[in-house]
Amino acid sequence: MDMPEDVRDTFGYALHLAQIGDKHPKPDMDRIRERLKWAEQHAKGVIE
């Protein structure tokens, strides 16, 4: 799936934290959820 660079960066950072067993600060999780929602809508063609 093609995602904007900032979304890929956030996913990559979240994955890194998960792999090293660290927890995500709440502001990071809020941003991840917001961007995931946007990416899902984009993938469905709801938004461009």
Tokens of 29: 């999780």
Quick check: pTM over 0.75? no
pLDDT digits (tens, 9 = 90+) for 1-18: 577 888 888 888 888 888
Rounded to the nearest angstrom, the gap between the alpha carbon of residue 36 and the centroid of all alpha carbons in its chain is 5
How do the residues of the chain divide into helix, strand and coil, expressed in percent and rounded to 5?
70, 0, 30
Mean pLDDT of the chain: 82
Domain boundaries, the chain: 5-44
